[in-house]
Amino acid sequence: MSQNHDDSLVYCPFDSTESKVDPNFLFPRHQLYFCPFCQLHRAPYQTYFKIESRFCSSCLTEFRKESKRYTCSKNCFICPECASDMKITVRDHDKGAKSFKFRCTECPYIFQTSIFCSPKPLRDIIESDKNDSFSRLCNDIKNGVLKGQTENRVSDQTRKNLELMNKATRQETRMSEVKKYPLPRRLTMRKSIYCVKCNTMVSTPI
């Protein structure tokens, strides 16, 4: 296929009866779908999608499509510096205590957890280790503003947010560099794409 053909534009108007061409509705071919029922190209704005499933691309755990979770709940983490995979090793301590070390497989980033005695998920261990100034500020906002608040108190939420932000600004010169922690891996979605007009599943982008 020639380069000129690959770069050609297809007109997918909002109103097919409009005689004047609107350049806002010209789309590159590689962005388009095809509806087998309408026998027409469909631009992204002329389609909608349904999530069929969610899964982790690392451990392959499947999650219900109705779930509101967007990150893996297992021990799958990525580097906060370069988003690469992380190697996790465990170290045994006295009286059955343990600690974990997260090492990026691509860059020098390393994170060492604190020593703990009772078993708990790695996600909770990382959360309990977040004691830097920025993490404490985020926790203050979460607990002081969002927790237990209702929609009819938006003004109170805004006021408290501003107070916390103002406090953080005053302390900015004393705040240490924001510490970065291992991030839970985001889930991958399997989805089907449909034509808005006839609700028929469209083919993959051309």
Please give the average pLDDT of every successive group of 10 residues along the chain, which has 206 residues: 63 80 88 92 93 89 82 91 93 87 94 86 84 64 56 59 63 58 91 94 79
Task: Look at residue 85 in the predicted model and tell me its pLDDT.
Answer: 93
Whether residue 54 is found in the same domain as residue 39: yes
Is 24 a domain residue?
yes
Task: Look at residue 132 in the predicted model and tell me its pLDDT.
Answer: 66
Whether residue 46 is found in the same domain as residue 94: no
Whether residue 60 is found in the same domain as residue 90: no
Is 44 a domain residue?
yes
Q: Give the helix/strand (H/E) hosting 3.
A: helix 3-6
Q: Report the sign of the C-alpha dihedral through residues 187, 128, 88, 116, in that order.
A: negative
Is 25 a domain residue?
yes
Is 147 a domain residue?
no
CA distance 186 to 54: 10
Whether residue 114 is found in the same domain as residue 136: yes
Whether residue 2 is found in the same domain as residue 70: yes
Q: Does residue 32 come out as left (phi exceeding 0), alpha (psi in the -120 to 50 range) or beta?
A: beta
Domains held by the chain: number = 2
Whether residue 20 is found in the same domain as residue 58: yes
Is 154 a domain residue?
no
Whether residue 69 is found in the same domain as residue 89: no
Task: Look at residue 187 in the predicted model and tell me its pLDDT.
Answer: 92
CA distance 146 to 64: 27
Task: Look at residue 2 in the predicted model and tell me its pLDDT.
Answer: 47
Task: Look at residue 84 in the predicted model and tell me its pLDDT.
Answer: 94
Q: Report the sign of the C-alpha dihedral through residues 26, 29, 32, 37, in that order.
A: positive
Whether residue 65 is found in the same domain as residue 84: no
Output the furthest CA–CA distance in the chain (Å, rounded). 80
Alpha carbon dihedral 22, 28, 34, 39, in 10-degree steps, equals 50
Whether residue 25 is found in the same domain as residue 84: no
Whether residue 17 is found in the same domain as residue 3: yes
Question: Domain of 42?
Answer: 1-74+189-205
Provide CB contacts within 8 A for 29, sequence distance 6+.
5, 6, 8, 9, 10, 206
Whether residue 65 is found in the same domain as residue 29: yes
Is 151 a domain residue?
no
Is 155 a domain residue?
no
Task: Look at residue 78 in the predicted model and tell me its pLDDT.
Answer: 94
Per the CB < 8 A criterion, the answer to whether 47 and 33 are in contact is: yes
Whether residue 33 is found in the same domain as residue 64: yes
Is 157 a domain residue?
no
Amino acid making up residue 83: A
Chain-centroid distance of CA 37 in Å reads 34
Alpha carbon dihedral 85, 120, 125, 71, in 10-degree steps, equals 50
Task: Look at residue 21 in the predicted model and tell me its pLDDT.
Answer: 84
| pTM (predicted TM-score) | 0.58
